[in-house]
Amino acid sequence: MTHQSEIQTALDEAVAHARLSAEGEPATYIPELANVDLEKTSAAVRSASGELCVAGDADSHEFTLQSSAKLVVLIGLLEELGPDAVFRVVGKEPTGASFASVARLETHGPGPANPLVNSGAIALCGQLAGTLEDRLSWIQRWAARLYGTRVALDETVLDSERATGDRNRSIAYFLKHNGVLRGSVDDTLEIYFSLCSLFTRVQHAALLPALLASGGLLPGSRERVLRSDTVAQVVSLMATCGMYDESGAHMVATGLPAKSGVSGVIVAVAPGRAGIAVSSPRVNARGGSVRGHVVLGQLSRALGWHFALPLR
């Protein structure tokens, strides 16, 4: 069992080391994501036993969850509809292509390859029932359950998503053409853009991967939040697809199933150990936070948290 003091020391050192990097650029194709302090760097570890460690700018750094929030709709639908219904709509395979690829739907369609690329999350947003307001409320309820607090929308980022989301519109219309998306394209994209525009801090973002690390139990308690089969499916997809076309390199380097977002957030699972959230806005060409990668790599090595290593 890794002690909290050991985790805190490793986390502080990893964040300090990550701050030395000035590589990467903010995701300017969503203009509002570039209007941030590029030096902000924060990290949190929530252990399976419930302890929380934070480092860097955790107390002041807010960010939108972007694609890391794709886990919200995936988990919620797995819990409510079950895996058969979910995987009739999306596949389970990595793409080896850009997270926003349209061509992949034409060459390998009609459905998305997995639920963690843009097409997969848009397709799953299209499976939500009820009015637009009902579906937005569903997202808010599941976000509150998985992050442990009410998670608000960043309306400025949402407006920026709407204004610059033509590639996602192309994906949605292609899905509709393929018969995967049957509802309103505009309403489905409003759900998707809203999902990506949820904002929080690393303290709360770390609860979702901590739930997964704990096998679906609320960390530090016996309260079951998620079914164990949901956890197994989601963590497996994070390991193979969560970091897009750098998922393999990330898993080899860290052994931490993870999900990235182009705001610079990465949430990662150390199975049986802890959930981790890191955020810093400079991202690489594949949408992964440069400093976030540094933090996760150093933390994994310092604590022996690679999934292939035995628990200490």
Q: Which residues 6+ apart lie within 8 Å of 63 measured at CB? A: 36, 40, 199, 200, 201, 263, 264, 265, 279, 281
Structure tokens at 246: 């750098």
CATH 3.60.15.10 fits 67-199, yes or no: no
Question: What local confidence, expressed as pLDDT, does residue 30 receive?
Answer: 87
Length of the chain measured in residues = 312
Mean pLDDT, to the nearest integer, of 202-228?
97
Domains 4-63+201-303 and 67-199 share a fold: yes
Question: What local confidence, expressed as pLDDT, does residue 193 receive?
Answer: 96
Residue 163's region, left for phi above 0, alpha for psi from -120 to 50, else beta, is: alpha
Q: What is the pLDDT of residues 40-85, one digit of tens each?
A: 999 999 999 999 999 999 999 999 999 999 999 999 999 999 999 9
The answer to whether the beta carbons of residues 54 and 42 sit under 8 Å apart is: yes
What is the C-alpha separation between 153 and 261, in angstroms, rounded? 16
Question: What local confidence, expressed as pLDDT, does residue 72 receive?
Answer: 98
Please tell me the CATH code under which domain 4-63+201-303 is placed: 3.40.710.10
Domains of the chain, residue spans? 4-63+201-303, 67-199
